[in-house]
Structure 1
Amino acid sequence: MKPYLPPLEDESLLSWVNRFALFQCGMKMEDFLRMISLPQQDLFIGRESVFPKLAAVFGVPAEELKACSHFQVSGRLYGYRGEVFFREFLVRNRPTYCPACLLSDIEAGRNGLRVGAARIGWMFDPVRTCQHHNVPLVRARKATTNGMKVDVSYLSPNPADLKRILLSSVNRKPSGLQKYVEERLEGSKGPTWMDSQQIDLASRATEMLGACVEFGAHANLLKLTEDDWDRAGQVGFEFTSKGEEGIREGLGHIFRKLQKGTAQSGPQGIFGKLYQWAQFKKTDKPIGPFKGILREYILDTLPLEPGTMLLGTAVDRTRRHSVASLASKYAIHPQTITHALRKSGLLQPLYVETDRRCTVEARLAEDLIEKLIRTVPVKQIPSYIDCTRTHARLLVEAGILNPVIAAQDNTSGRYKGVDSRDLDQLIAQMRQFGKPVERPGLGMASVGDAAHALHAPTTDIVTLLLDRKLDNVELLPSTLKFRSVLVDPKEVAIKLGVQTGETGVTISNTAKELGVHLDVVRFLLQAQSDEGRPVLKTCGQYRHMGIMRDLVDPDSLDVFKKYYRKLSEIEGFWVRDPGRLRSELATKGIQPMWDPDLAGAEFYRASDL
């Protein structure tokens, strides 16, 4: 049919057919379609048979017509240019237009037609603002036809009505989501996460996330206006354009914004319409990758038991625990759980017991509670590993044994105890090497006895064992636990650097044995016998309080006690009158071996007595 009527810029095929019918035949589009035997529904749907038929009438290639229209790909799938989407992405039976564009078309009167032209972009759901005039599109709230016939009456409105609409319109720019959709339909690349899926799935996820962030998770979506959905697209795109990280950020906004009455509810109570949209689908239409991100976020924030169905898939393991879920799992009073989590730092001080959003990492929490169940109080450690109370205290203070909860305050009771597994492991590590024996070898001593003899910390000897730095180690039966490990005090002394030479008697112990002051022992170490030999000898040194101190040779001490007597040890000594015995000895010509004023005590030769 001639003359040829070209399409306007971005004009849809439906609009082009409407203008063609008016221009060529002066008839309505429905009459024109009936004349050329083309069912309205075929044009409405975009069936493949429409394009060659119209091509013959229009005198243009079918592909040129197809570029102006959506087309049916399969039952529910449609396409436009290089994109494929579900039919819900289209608003074919809900008249949509820009009042400024239609007014401009009518006033221009191209080809003698005072009719408006519909733009192809108007038929896509996220497009709600005219990119040329920056005004909201007018879109019917409900469908004006049942899909069997096409309504184009909105393209021939009263110009006065259009002007009135424009006067009340606000000025706004297209949302980020709309710009993304328009550019993608033109073949441009956008954010990677959005481009990785069907355009309609990315768009719907963006709008749903934005609506729940902006208007609340439990907002009535049916009451949202086109302006509200435009705002939802703008807000949602701020998150979805940043991919998974951005989406989780958006979900975090919803999670932290407590809805009335939802503190004790689960995923549906917190995420509301967003959760319902993903969980309770009425069709087999997919949600897209957003569903997986939402599921992972829920698993990372809320306590869900294994086996729970979440967004179509069973939960394999619990990732987060609340106090209630831990109390139920381990049959422990919630208050005990709360104290343990708080003291360990896993739970914030401002925790609200009834708020299910207050959760802790499941693995850490379960490890803690299981340790708490196995806890051995500090006062029971001696009986558990067969050591002294002092040894138990020192092992804890040195960090060789760690409390179940390393709290900074004055924690008491089970919280300050030690995991029985740690106690068993300590004994096992102490016994990790060594020679099994039935009875102690010559000179061998238990860890506690060796520490006492060397005046060395028990924990230092235990550390040598744990670090495998001792060569001579004997192992008694394991039933003796802490006392089952024997060490060589001489080797320990050398490895710790606490002693040189031979093992001897400390000056303080020598003083106790002789019943004298420490200074007396120091004098005797310098004194000589009648033969000019030292009276007491040193055999080595040991470290005490960071200072190397002399050790008295045990043999020389025994010799001294054999050949010398202190005044108080001589028969006839009377405490109330020591001078009487001293005078009797002097009368017999028996004098002290050394000047008492210098020695600090009175010693006599046993041979003189």
Structure 2
Amino acid sequence: MSGLSITVPFHDDETLTSLCSRTAAANGISSAREFCTHMGFRFQHIIDGRTPAIDEFAYITSSDAEYLRSRALVKDGARFRIGMEDISKFDLARSRARFCPKCFEDDLNRGSGPEHSRGYGRLAWIFSCIRTCQKHNQFLCEATRARTAVMNDFVNMVEEAWADACPLSADPAPRSMFERYLEDRLAKRERSETWLNSLPLQVVVRVPEIIGGMIRHGHEFKYGALSVRQSVEAAEEGFRVMAQGEDSFVDFLNVMQKKALAGTGDLGGSLLYGRLYDILAHATKDPNYDPIRKIMRDTAIDNTPIGPGNALFGPVDRRKLHSVTSATNISGMHFLRLKKLLRAKGLIGAVEFDLSPHRIMIDAQVMEDFLAIVTTGLAVNECYDLLGIPRQQWQPLLRVTGLEPFIPANEETKVWPIFGRKSVQAVLDKMLSMETIPYDGSEDLQDIKTVRKRTLCKFEEIYGLLLSGKLKKVAVDVRDRGLASLRVSLEEVRDLVQLDNHGGMSLRQAERALGTAYGVLQRLIDDGHIRSRRAINPVNRCPQTVIDPSDVAEFNCTFVGLNSLVMQHRRAHATIRNILGDAGVTPAFPPDELGCTFYRRDEVEGKLTPKGHAN
């Protein structure tokens, strides 16, 4: 078959079916179908983008077959492929004529060849998301009906529709960068490397309008409720979001998430992402949307308590955040109890405490570590039982080991301390590991309570010696449990806890050394005649009043009591008092204040000798 002598130019934004229709018209054939039949192939195969038919058409029109194939809409089930991109048939409008009358007039005025073959069908016009002609600032016209015989035959479709076709809207068309972008992309005009350009065509023609619809008309807007103008404006709004890149799209998702978290209801795809999720999860399984689904899924996991057990485009297999609700589901703990514990631990503040449980979010690993401890944690009385100690030993043990509660007491939330089971068990294991000898029932090896009582020391002293490794004799009596099973050497502990002697005399000792009564000694101290000090008794470890021996000796060297003179000279009290009085010796202190009479020793000397008495 030889080539045609009459051909028409193929515009870079024209459909292949339009080129075939205009070629038929230019050669005087009444329809594209009749023309293709005469040429030995079927027009339907051109419509479906079949390679043999396109190659035949390229041959008779002296066109580049590869170029024509790259511009064809290749049918593949319910989808069409154009070049490296594909689109669902539901996003195409090919059964009725859609066109801009002013573009058509421009074609007639500027084109060449037969007049009825000059107007051509733009590729963008068959996409249902394209509703305007940005060049002429008006809405496209669309035929109200179409005969099967002329479908896809652009020349005949427009000729039949010209009289009754009406614009999609009578208003001036709004400016739409979205539609200009699509026209350029479909015409394969040069494009920069951007995130939007990396997305499949199917995503670009559909998602912007959904995003814009949600922004302008609410989370659950309905397509059928939007006018044509509102649809164009919604698509433009969504395009502004996506044209700025992936981060901008994620910001949009974050805004949606915050609205969902501020409301009520169980978190899920519909609550988080509204109409966008409903369409991508239920209305289509198209894998072209998988990049968008992945971003939505990852953003939800990163910013909401979505995790294993939830579904978002399928089961969720990881978690970044826990809510109080999700944490109660895995722990079995009541949500109010969990909120109080989190508040006491300082993981949430007063503001978060007042939020509903599914709105309080914490890092998943932090929450899981927290739950692992509190769900097995021990109250104070349970610690007594695990350690095998009475209440009296608890505080000394805490001071020595530094064991602290995982959850401290909190008056605000009425929470009592909770200790980590592993921490308490570690203390017990450490204590028991100090065993040095087997228990043989020796009298010297006693339990800690008995040793403390008999050495008059403190529990924490024994625990301190044990943990520091200073005790050489430590055994475990398996008949008891916990710390009650520990046996330590009574003598060894006594030697180690024995305090240094304070070097003073007790009041009783001083009383005997001075040869006076306790009351008199006390008054001497109170009046400042004898110095005293407070010291710790090295035996019973209690504070006591003591007097240095040197002070007692000094007092004895300076003063002598009447009782001592009576014993020394074997004379009556009155006799000695009279003798000294006659000699002019008076008491060193007022006797009525002390309850006893003392003289200065140097004044008494020589006054009580027989000779002196005779004189």
Kept after mapping to 2: 8 A contact 1:85/1:200? yes
Are positions 1:63 and 2:42 aligned together? no
Please list, as runs of the form range in 1=range in 2, the aligned pairs for 1:457-536 lying within 5 A after superposition.
461=464, 465=467, 474=474, 476-477=476-477, 481-482=482-483, 505=499
Which secondary structure does the structure 1 equivalent of 2:113 belong to? Answer: helix
Aligned residues: 524
Please list, as runs of the form range in 1=range in 2, the aligned pairs for 1:101-500 lying within 5 A after superposition.
101-111=103-113, 113=115, 115-124=118-127, 133=135, 135=137, 138=140, 140=142, 149-150=151-152, 152=154, 155=158, 168-174=172-178, 178=182, 181-182=185-186, 185-186=188-189, 188=191, 190-191=193-194, 195=198, 198-201=200-203, 204-205=206-207, 207-225=209-227, 227-236=229-238, 247-258=249-260, 263-264=265-266, 266-281=268-283, 287-299=289-301, 310-311=312-313, 313-316=314-317, 321-347=322-348, 349-350=351-352, 356-369=358-371, 371-378=373-380, 381-387=383-389, 392-393=394-395, 400-406=402-408, 410=412, 412-414=414-416, 416-432=417-433, 435-438=436-439, 461=464, 465=467, 474=474, 476-477=476-477, 481-482=482-483
The structure whose Rg is larger is 2
Q: With structure 2 as the length reference, what TM-score do the two structures score? A: 0.65
1:412-434 CA-partner distances (Å, limit 9, x unpaired)? 444x2213332112222444565
Counterparts of 2:127 and 2:259, CA distance in 1? 32
Flag the 1:94–1:241 CA change in 2: closer, same or farther, 3 A. Answer: same
Are positions 1:587 and 2:590 aligned together? no
Which secondary structure does the structure 1 equivalent of 2:27 belong to? Answer: helix
Flag the 1:588–1:140 CA change in 2: closer, same or farther, 3 A. Answer: farther
Aligned Cα root-mean-square deviation (Å) = 5.6
Match of 2:583 in 1: none
Flag the 1:221–1:167 CA change in 2: closer, same or farther, 3 A. Answer: closer
Counterparts of 1:508 and 1:177, CA distance in 2? 97
Flag the 1:172–1:236 CA change in 2: closer, same or farther, 3 A. Answer: closer
Which secondary structure does the structure 2 equivalent of 1:257 belong to? Answer: helix
- How much does 1:252 deviate? 2.0
Are positions 1:48 and 2:42 aligned together? no
1:171-229 CA-partner distances (Å, limit 9, x unpaired)? 3433696488458x44745335862x643246545554554455433111343455555
Counterparts of 2:210 and 2:8, CA distance in 1? 42
- How much does 1:486 deviate? 8.2
Flag the 1:140–1:166 CA change in 2: closer, same or farther, 3 A. Answer: closer
1:20-46 CA-partner distances (Å, limit 9, x unpaired)? 333331745455445546544333222
Kept after mapping to 2: 8 A contact 1:77/1:86? yes
Which secondary structure does the structure 1 equivalent of 2:81 belong to? Answer: strand
Greater Cα offset, 375-384 or 171-180: 171-180
Q: Runs of 5+ in structure 1 lacking a partner?
A: 493-500, 517-548, 555-560, 568-580, 597-601, 603-609
Counterparts of 1:296 and 1:24, CA distance in 2? 57
Q: Runs of 5+ in structure 2 lacking a partner?
A: 511-533, 540-545, 553-559, 570-587, 590-597, 599-615
Kept after mapping to 1: 8 A contact 2:477/2:485? yes
Counterparts of 1:29 and 1:317, CA distance in 2? 57
- How much does 1:347 deviate? 4.9
Flag the 1:163–1:413 CA change in 2: closer, same or farther, 3 A. Answer: closer
Kept after mapping to 1: 8 A contact 2:54/2:65? yes
- How much does 1:359 deviate? 4.4
1:470-524 CA-partner distances (Å, limit 9, x unpaired)? 79684535755346678999999xxxxxxxx9975257797879789xxxxxxxx
Which secondary structure does the structure 1 equivalent of 2:220 belong to? Answer: coil
1:323-371 CA-partner distances (Å, limit 9, x unpaired)? 4454455444332233233444545634676674544445544543454
Please list, as runs of the form range in 1=range in 2, the aligned pairs for 1:549-560 lying within 5 A after superposition.
none
1:366-394 CA-partner distances (Å, limit 9, x unpaired)? 54345434333336544542456576447
Counterparts of 1:238 and 1:148, CA distance in 2? 38
- How much does 1:449 deviate? 6.0
1:222-271 CA-partner distances (Å, limit 9, x unpaired)? 43455555555555456656776555433222222249985246433443
Counterparts of 2:549 and 2:460, CA distance in 1? 36
Which secondary structure does the structure 1 equivalent of 2:67 belong to? Answer: helix
- 1:116 partner amino acid: G
Flag the 1:491–1:331 CA change in 2: closer, same or farther, 3 A. Answer: same
Counterparts of 1:35 and 1:402, CA distance in 2? 95
Which secondary structure does the structure 2 equivalent of 1:418 belong to? Answer: coil
Counterparts of 1:515 and 1:201, CA distance in 2? 103
Counterparts of 1:164 and 1:297, CA distance in 2? 38
